[in-house]
Amino acid sequence: MENSVTEALRMRRSIRRYKPEQISDEELKTVLEAGTWAPTGKGRQDPWIVAVQKPGLLERISRMNARLWGREGIDPFYGAPTYVLVFGSDPEVWRNSVCDGTLVLGNMMIAAHSIGLGSCWINRERELFATDEGRALMREMGLPDGLIGIGALALGYPDETPAQPKARKENYYRIIR
């Protein structure tokens, strides 16, 4: 069965080079709204989504992430003009926190692709926002105490042609009747 959703799922690829121009407010809102419609355990809507477009803050987050990665001087966000950060409750408080936040990130990546934007999942947010500097940054962004970083997206207009999808491995799924 073919439809626009399954096509977007098949064709979305991580983008690792972005044009410098900022995405539109309408595009950003479309991506963020898609995140809010992700399923969450017990309908709790635990994740917190923060879009960052402020140049100085983008640089600061990039430097913090690169330092944790052990690759100072590179941009782990690939020059994207927008970062979308997702936070959730500590898993000891809400056990579905990471799963809920991951679904939010997945929804946003598919939505971004569907409107012609590129995205790439960025790691290390859990470690980044567990540092003193990271917790201070969360307070600066107006987030409540007790949250953890789950993941982030680099988001913008692609400045590369994504690779063709790889063939799916054999026996990826099974149907048992």
Lookup: tokens for 93:
């408080």
Residue owning tokens 């979305």: 12
With respect to residue 90, please indicate whether it lies within any of the assigned structural domains: yes
With respect to residue 70, please indicate whether it lies within any of the assigned structural domains: yes
Task: Please give the C-alpha separations between residue 9 and each of 3, 12, 51, 73, 106, in angstroms, as whole numbers.
Answer: 10, 6, 23, 33, 10
In the prediction, which pLDDT does 9 show? 94
Q: Does pLDDT of 94 surpass 90?
A: yes
The mean predicted confidence, pLDDT, of the chain is 97
Average pLDDT on 138-159 reads 98
Exposed, middle or buried, 56 (CB in 10 Å: 0-12/13-18/19+)?
exposed
Which stretches does DSSP call E strand in 70-145? 82-89, 118-122
Number of domains in the chain: 1
pTM of this structure: 0.96
With respect to residue 75, please indicate whether it lies within any of the assigned structural domains: yes
In the prediction, which pLDDT does 1 show? 85
76-88 per-position pLDDT tens digit: 999 999 999 999 9
Q: Does pLDDT of 170 surpass 90?
A: yes
Task: Please give the C-alpha separations between residue 23 and each of 81, 85, 147, in angstroms, as whole numbers.
Answer: 8, 16, 28
With respect to residue 135, please indicate whether it lies within any of the assigned structural domains: yes
With respect to residue 80, please indicate whether it lies within any of the assigned structural domains: yes
54-68 per-position pLDDT tens digit: 999 999 999 999 999
With respect to residue 117, please indicate whether it lies within any of the assigned structural domains: yes
CATH of the domain at 75: 3.40.109.10
CA 130 from centroid of its chain's CA atoms: 18
Could you tell me the pLDDT band of residue 2, with boundaries at 50, 70 and 90? Answer: confident
Domain membership of residue 36 as a residue range: 22-156
Lookup: tokens for 144:
């409540």
In the prediction, which pLDDT does 163 show? 86
With respect to residue 106, please indicate whether it lies within any of the assigned structural domains: yes
With respect to residue 161, please indicate whether it lies within any of the assigned structural domains: no
19-44 per-position pLDDT tens digit: 999 999 999 999 999 999 999 999 99
- Coil/strand/helix, residue 83: strand
- Coil/strand/helix, residue 27: helix
Q: Are 151 and 121 in contact (CB under 8 A)?
A: yes
Q: Are 74 and 88 in contact (CB under 8 A)?
A: no
